């Protein structure tokens, strides 16, 4: 009976831990959550200054009015079928040697992806 309970407890505990963790496309800075669509200024306010900031160039995006992911406010502001050139930048945040660094990619000043970049390092003052 005790052995069966242990066998059930491990998978249930793992599932609970996965449900409580942040989604892969989000980052926790302090007690606030950084997620897709946030502006660069919001990210800096929540996470502080990045250890590096790179301007990677420009990307051309087309907005199709039939695409459900387009926000109505964007379509109203820029028009249907709009094409927009956006600056692409990347920020690297180092949270110390015992935590993972995060690379946040922005297009047009908005978060489009958040990825891990290996373990951080101790910064020299």
Q: What is the pLDDT of residues 6-39, one digit of tens each?
A: 666 655 655 554 444 444 567 898 899 999 999 9
Q: What's the pLDDT at 84? A: 75
**Residue spans per domain, the chain:** 25-119
Q: What's the pLDDT at 60? A: 81
d(CA 24, CA 35): 9
- Are the C-beta atoms of residues 66 and 81 closer than 8 Å to each other? no
68 pLDDT band (50/70/90 cuts)? low
The predicted model gives 40-68 an average pLDDT of 85
Tell me what percent of the residues of the chain surpass a pLDDT of 90.
45
Q: What is the pLDDT of residues 84-97, one digit of tens each?
A: 788 999 999 999 99
124 pLDDT band (50/70/90 cuts)? confident
Task: Extract the tokens encoding 77.
Answer: 């502001």
pTM: 0.67
Phi, psi of 38 (to 5 degrees): -70, 150
> At CB < 8 A and 24+ separation, what contacts does 27-32 make?
27/93, 27/102, 27/104, 27/114, 29/93
59 pLDDT band (50/70/90 cuts)? confident
């Amino acid at each position: 009976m005790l052995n069966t309970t242990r066998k059930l407890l491990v998978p249930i505990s793992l599932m609970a831990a996965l449900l409580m963790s942040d989604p892969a496309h989000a980052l926790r800075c302090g007690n606030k959550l950084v997620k897709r669509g946030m502006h660069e200024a919001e990210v800096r306010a929540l996470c502080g200054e990045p250890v590096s900031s790179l301007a990677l160039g420009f990307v051309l995006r087309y907005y199709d009015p039939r695409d459900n992911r387009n926000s109505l406010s964007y379509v109203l502001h820029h028009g249907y079928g709009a094409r927009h050139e956006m600056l692409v930048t990347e920020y690297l945040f180092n949270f110390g040697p015992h935590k993972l660094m995060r690379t946040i990619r922005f297009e047009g000043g908005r978060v489009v992806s958040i990825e891990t970049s290996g373990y951080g390092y101790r910064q020299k003052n």
